[in-house]
């Protein structure tokens, strides 16, 4: 039996920590609870051994898992992520395991000897020279001591609710050493359970209420229903009826592990969907099926124009994986915002699907994880982190809308879900399908160079035409009307026509709020966020200014904060203003809006979308939220206001992002019987991102873009990392940036180009001043080595890890 184990803990250090094993033996890939500094932390065991460490070791407090929670392939995947993205392995494992809810964080307090003495002496307190507040504060402290003196150890929450003391009071008592505290974090005793009613035998005479309960149970599989569900099904039956049935032995109650979202009605098997496929879809399906059956690693890029039926193809492929007894994972950018969610996943996959979305609580997330782990759900659908789902016998991973930037995690570990999916498939000898109408330049390059297999769907289903795209130059509109207009005359004409015909339209402006700039006409002062170097956006609903980067809100100033002038002007347009102006232009229209101000939950989103589907809304306004995958057949017109405004961003991916967004939103038009039309309002009509969108020419766009990338040594021709230095103190940020700059200058980092230091495009964000370096190299190994050496230097200079961000394959350079 090994005496020591190495544990990866979620702390910002690139090492595992060695602990002595107590009587219970841990397993590699399983979790243990260990003391770390003054805390208790749970971590994953990475090794078992007998090598006595040179430093004194602490002992494992508790073994949390008898079986590994990360199998070999997932352990390897975690190691790869830690290595590739330069992230601490403990942080990586924590990201991979959504089981935090199983550990209960707790602090317990105890009264000390000195505390007892102080309490004893308290009878003599009460000198008259103190204020009421001082006396009250002291009385509260004695209340706490008194309460603690009655028991051995008390949880923080219990003391606070029993005495009304806040954390400050406890801190004061700790400082006086009247009380002591320890971390009592531990695994929770048991998994959450639910009460289940089981129908035994319906004998004897039953009254009406009893019959209702029995009937409800009879419709359920094996006559079992969660009591909660039974109550929902029979709202008029009094609670005592169930108790009577239990007493009579007709129904039995049992405690079962709660499994979120498992259908408690009759078990549903997968419905075999007969998709009606075009020859192109059929060919695509066959290729994907062969790849997933081959038990070898492969990557396919499924590039299909909008409306070509990609979703049906990969759902059918996943269904055949399920039928063959193996597992599949589907990654989607945002749950609820995808066509995959619109296709009823439960209908396609029965109860064998686990859907992981952001609205799950910690408990629900852990339950779903266990369900997948037990093999009860072999199809997993979810956002980025679903790539870590513990399925066994993995055959296929589908990454839908693979170009979407939400696959990149913008906190440690800064992994890209799509790239991790490819690595996971490689480690499991499985197939990956990357699907998109607008593949990322990197993925298409891999397909062109033969690294990925390219599967193309060039036509829409039922040979429906792609919409006609019209580009309107807003400079000409201005000259014609003599003033700035939000809508071009052509757009107004077209909307009028659609409304008259009972058709629907979508208007996109990828910027929320009412006005994006608040400016003083007298002195030119632009009202900026106090935490960020970003203009505040005016929101008319609520009449306030808001920073879209940190969320800071403030009242609308009546006079200029700089010169006191009253000439404050609101410039620029956001989706809120677009909606208002559409109401004015089309008073009869029913208008809905989708953006982060109107959508607070998945529910809001679905409600508006359902109304749009039902044609209760004629005009839908919104940000990029409306561009994603919706299939509303009544939409025959899409208008885009400010179609080119993102082209001005200082980011080498600006053209790619613009092309993707415009192509995606254009793809919403004309998916039904009637052909669609798209109107793009632009100022730079000659930009190639606009030109190729107009021609539906992905290939043309790619050719142009890839030449630029090659010329500029940008991905995919080089690997790129962003090193961001940040501090809320300007001099500190400058000092660290200077140190790193001199280190880069004085160190030979062969084969790596270092740009910077320079001020980050957003110079101040969430109170931090920001500087950055961009590292580029044709060799990933050399880039990684340079970053590693730099990180060692930063550690040695005692620059905290949270102040130097290493972002490998950074998507945002802002």
Q: Which is nearer to Zn ion, 142 or 552 (CB)?
A: 552
Q: Which is nearer to Zn ion, 395 or 532 (CB)?
A: 532
Only segment of 207-215, 247-255, 357-365, 560-568 that touches Zn ion (CB under 5 A): 560-568
Cβ–Cβ under 8 Å, residues 287 and 299: no
Q: How far is the CB of 731 from Zn ion (least distance, A)?
A: 21
CB 31 to Zn ion: min, Å: 38
Angle between helices 72-84 and 89-96 (to 10 degrees): 130
User: CB under 5 A: which stretch of 108-116, 420-428, 478-486, 530-538 binds Zn ion?
Assistant: 530-538
Q: Kindly report the number of other CB atoms within 10 A of residue 797's CB atom.
A: 13
- Among 71, 183, 473, 525, which residue sits at the site for Zn ion (rule: CB under 5 A)? 525
**Region near Zn ion per CB under 5 A, out of 334-342, 557-565, 665-673, 721-729:** 557-565
Rounded least distance, CB 547 to Zn ion, Å:
3
SS3 of 629-648: the string is: CCCCCCEEEEEECCCCHHHH
Binding residue for Zn ion, selected from 523, 541, 614, 792, defined by CB under 5 A: 523
Q: Shortest approach of Zn ion to residue 104 CB, angstroms?
A: 35
In terms of Cα–Cα distance, which of 96, 40, 92 is closest to 69?
96
Nearer to Zn ion, 360 or 536 (CB): 536
Q: What gap in Å lies between CA 621 and CA 602, rounded to an integer?
A: 17
Is the Cβ of residue 262 or residue 550 nearer to Zn ion in the bound state?
550
Report which of 639, 643, 677, 638 is spatially closest to residue 657, judged by C-alpha positions: 643
Per CB under 5 A, the segment of 258-266, 323-331, 439-447, 523-531 that binds Zn ion is: 523-531
806, 86 Cβ separation under 8 angstroms: yes
Instruction: State the alpha helices, DSSP H only, in 234-392.
Output: 239-247, 279-293, 310-323, 339-342, 345-349, 362-373
* Least Cβ distance, residue 297 to Zn ion (angstroms): 44
Strands (E), 410-474: 431-436, 453-457, 468-473
Residue 803 C-beta: closest distance to Zn ion, Å: 19
Give me the phi and psi of 725, to 5 degrees please.
Answer: -105, 130
Helix ranges restricted to H, 533-653: 575-585, 602-613
Using CB under 5 A, which of 488, 518, 529, 625 touches Zn ion?
529
CB nearer to Zn ion: give 219 or 526.
526
CB 33 within 8 A of CB 187: yes
Dihedral Cα 12, 15, 18, 24, nearest 10 deg: 70
CA distance 638 to 404: 21
Which residue number, 531 or 694, has a Cβ lying nearer to Zn ion? 531
Strands 193-199 and 251-257: antiparallel
Residue from the set 110, 522, 611, 694 that interacts with Zn ion by CB under 5 A: 522
For Cα atoms 370, 372, 374, give the angle at the middle one, nearest 5 degrees: 65
**Which 317-356 positions form the footprint of Zn ion (CB under 5 A)?**
none
How many Cβ atoms are within 10 Å of 132's Cβ, its own excluded?
7
Residue closer to Zn ion by CB (options 562, 581) is 562
Q: Which is nearer to Zn ion, 221 or 559 (CB)?
A: 559
Of the pair 435, 547, the CB lying nearest Zn ion is at 547
* Strand-pair category, 753-765 with 517-520: unpaired
Candidates 15-23, 206-214, 514-522, 805-813: pick the segment binding Zn ion (CB under 5 A).
514-522
Closest CB to Zn ion among 295 and 521?
A: 521
**Pairing assessment for the beta strands 537-539 and 179-183 based on DSSP bridges:** unpaired
Measuring CA to CA, which residue among 322, 318, 310 is closest to residue 278? 310
Based on the shown chain and the rule CB under 5 A, indicate whether residue 712 belongs to the binding site for Zn ion: no
Cα-to-chain-centroid distance, residue 457: 29
Nearer to Zn ion, 318 or 547 (CB): 547
Nearest distance from C-beta of residue 549 to Zn ion, angstroms? 5
Burial (CB count within 10 angstroms: exposed 0-12, middle 13-18, buried 19+), residue 27: middle
**Candidate residues 283, 550, 735, 785; the one interacting with Zn ion per rule CB under 5 A:** 550
CB-nearer residue toward Zn ion: 551 or 800:
551
Part in contact with Zn ion (CB under 5 A); list of ranges 78-86, 182-190, 528-536, 595-603: 528-536
Nearer Cβ to Zn ion (290/526): 526
Burial class (CB in 10 A: 0-12, 13-18, 19+), 792: exposed
Q: Which of these ranges, 134-142, 234-242, 543-551, 620-628, lies near Zn ion under the rule CB under 5 A?
A: 543-551
What's the min distance (Å) between Cβ of 529 and Zn ion?
Answer: 3
Separation in Å, CA 296 to CA 81, 426, 445? 22, 8, 22
Least distance between Zn ion and beta carbon 279 (Å): 53
Q: Where are the alpha helices (DSSP H) in 748-799?
A: 780-796
Query: Which phi-psi region, left, alpha or beta, contains residue 159 (left: φ > 0; alpha: ψ -120 to 50)?
Result: alpha
Q: Is residue 532 within the footprint of Zn ion (CB under 5 A)? A: yes
Does 531 help bind Zn ion (rule: CB under 5 A)?
A: yes
Nearer to Zn ion, 520 or 643 (CB): 520
Tell me if 560 contacts Zn ion by CB under 5 A: yes
CB of residue 564 vs Zn ion: minimum separation in angstroms?
7
What is the smallest separation between the CB atom of 596 and Zn ion, expressed in angstroms?
15
Q: Which of 802, 814, 747 is nearest to 774 (CA)?
A: 814
Q: Is 547 in the site for Zn ion (CB under 5 A)?
A: yes
| Residues 563-622 contacting Zn ion, CB under 5 A | 563, 565
Select from 275, 552, 708, 717 the one that contacts Zn ion (CB under 5 A).
552
Q: Do residues 392 and 424 make contact, with C-beta atoms less than 8 angstroms apart?
A: no
Q: Among residues 460 and 764, whose Cβ is nearest to Zn ion?
A: 764
Rule CB under 5 A: which of 123-142 touch Zn ion?
none
Residue 559 in contact with Zn ion, rule: CB under 5 A: no
Ranges within 2-41 binding Zn ion (CB under 5 A)? none
**List of residues contacting Zn ion (CB under 5 A):** 520, 522-523, 525, 529, 531-532, 547, 549-550, 552, 560, 562-563, 565
């Amino acid at each position: 039996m090994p005496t020591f184990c190495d544990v990866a803990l979620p702390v910002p250090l690139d090492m595992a920590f060695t602990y002595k094993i107590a009587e219970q033996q841990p397993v590699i890939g399983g979790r243990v609870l260990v003391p770390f500094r003054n805390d208790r932390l749970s971590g994953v065991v990475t090794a078992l051994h007998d090598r006595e460490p040179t430093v004194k070791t602490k002992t494992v407090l508790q073994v949390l898992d008898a079986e590994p929670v990360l199998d070999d392939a997932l352990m390897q995947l975690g190691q790869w992520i830690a290595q590739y993205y330069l992230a601490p392995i403990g942080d990586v494992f924590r990201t991979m395991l959504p089981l935090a809810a199983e550990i209960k964080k707790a602090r317990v307090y105890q009264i000390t000897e000195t505390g007892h003495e102080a309490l004893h002496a308290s009878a003599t307190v009460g000198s008259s020279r103190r204020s009421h507040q001082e006396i009250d504060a002291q009385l509260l402290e004695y209340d706490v001591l008194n309460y603690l003196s009655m028991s051995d150890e008390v949880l923080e929450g219990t003391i606070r609710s029993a005495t009304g003391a806040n954390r400050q009071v406890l801190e004061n008592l700790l400082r006086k050493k009247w009380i002591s505290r320890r971390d009592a974090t531990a695994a929770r005793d048991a998994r959450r359970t639910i009460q289940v009613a089981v129908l035994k035998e319906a004998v004897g005479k039953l009254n009406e209420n009893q019959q209702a309960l029995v009937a409800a149970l009879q419709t359920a599989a094996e006559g079992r229903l969660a009591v909660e569900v039974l109550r929902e099904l029979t709202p008029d039956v009094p609670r005592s009826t169930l108790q009577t049935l239990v007493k009579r032995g007709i129904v039995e109650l049992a405690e079962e592990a709660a499994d979120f979202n498992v259908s408690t009605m009759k078990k549903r098997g997968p419905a075999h969907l007969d998709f009606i496929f075009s020859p192109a879809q059929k060919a695509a399906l066959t290729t994907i099926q062969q790849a997933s059956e081959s038990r070898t690693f492969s990557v396919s890029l499924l590039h299909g124009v909008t409306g070509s039926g990609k979703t049906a193809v990969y759902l059918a492929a996943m269904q055949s994986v399920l039928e063959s007894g193996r597992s599949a994972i589907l990654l989607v950018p945002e749950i609820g915002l995808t066509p995959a969610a619109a296709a009823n996943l439960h209908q396609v996959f029965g109860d064998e699907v686990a859907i992981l979305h952001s609205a799950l609580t910690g408990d629900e997330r852990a339950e779903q994880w266990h369900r997948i782990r037990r093999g009860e759900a072999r199809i997993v659908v979810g956002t980025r982190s679903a790539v870590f789902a513990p399925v066994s016998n993995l055959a296929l991973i589908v990454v839908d809308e693979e170009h979407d930037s939400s696959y990149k995690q913008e906190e440690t570990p800064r992994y890209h879900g799509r790239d991790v999916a490819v690595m996971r498939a490689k480690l499991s000898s499985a197939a990956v399908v990357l699907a998109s109408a607008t593949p990322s330049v990197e993925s298409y390059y891999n397909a062109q160079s033969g690294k990925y297999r390219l599967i193309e769907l060039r036509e829409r289903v039922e040979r429906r035409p792609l919409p006609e795209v019209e580009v309107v130059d807003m400079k000409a509109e201005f000259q014609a009307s003599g003033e700035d207009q939000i809508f071009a005359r052509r757009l107004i004409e077209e909307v009028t026509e659609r409304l008259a015909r009972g058709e629907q339209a979508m208007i996109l402006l990828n910027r929320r709020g009412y006005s994006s700039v608040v400016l003083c006409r007298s002195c030119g002062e632009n009202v900026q966020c106090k935490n960020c170097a970003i203009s505040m956006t005016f929101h008319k609903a609520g009449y306030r200014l808001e920073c879209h980067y940190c969320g800071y809100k403030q009242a609308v100033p009546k006079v200029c904060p700089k010169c006191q002038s009253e000439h404050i002007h609101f410039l620029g347009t956001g989706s809120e203003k677009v909606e208002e102006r559409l109401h004015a232009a089309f008073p009869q229209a029913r208008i809905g809006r989708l953006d982060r101000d109107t959508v607070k939950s998945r529910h809001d989103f679905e409600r508006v979308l359902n109304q749009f589907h039902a044609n209760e809304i004629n005009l839908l306004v919104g940000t990029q939220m409306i561009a994603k995958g919706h299939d509303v057949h009544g939409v025959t017109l899409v208008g885009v206001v400010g179609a080119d405004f993102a082209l001005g961003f200082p980011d080498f991916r600006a053209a790619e992002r613009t092309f993707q967004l415009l192509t995606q939103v254009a793809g919403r038009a004309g998916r039904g019987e009637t052909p669609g039309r798209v109107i793009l309002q632009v100022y730079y009509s000659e930009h190639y991102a606009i030109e190729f969108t107009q021609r539906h020419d992905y290939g043309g766009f790619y050719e142009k873009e890839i030449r630029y990338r090659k010329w500029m040594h940008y991905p995919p021709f080089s690997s790129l990392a962003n090193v961001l230095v940040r501090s809320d103190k300007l001099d500190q940020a400058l000092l660290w940036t200077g140190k790193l700059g001199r280190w880069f200058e004085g160190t030979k980092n062969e084969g790596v180009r270092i740009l910077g230091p320079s001020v980050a495009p957003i110079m101040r964000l969430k109170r931090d001043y920001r500087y950055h370096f961009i590292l580029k190299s044709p060799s990933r190994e050399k880039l990684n080595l340079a970053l590693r050496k730099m990180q060692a230097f930063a550690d040695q200079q005692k620059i905290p890890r949270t102040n130097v961000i290493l972002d490998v394959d950074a998507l945002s350079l802002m």
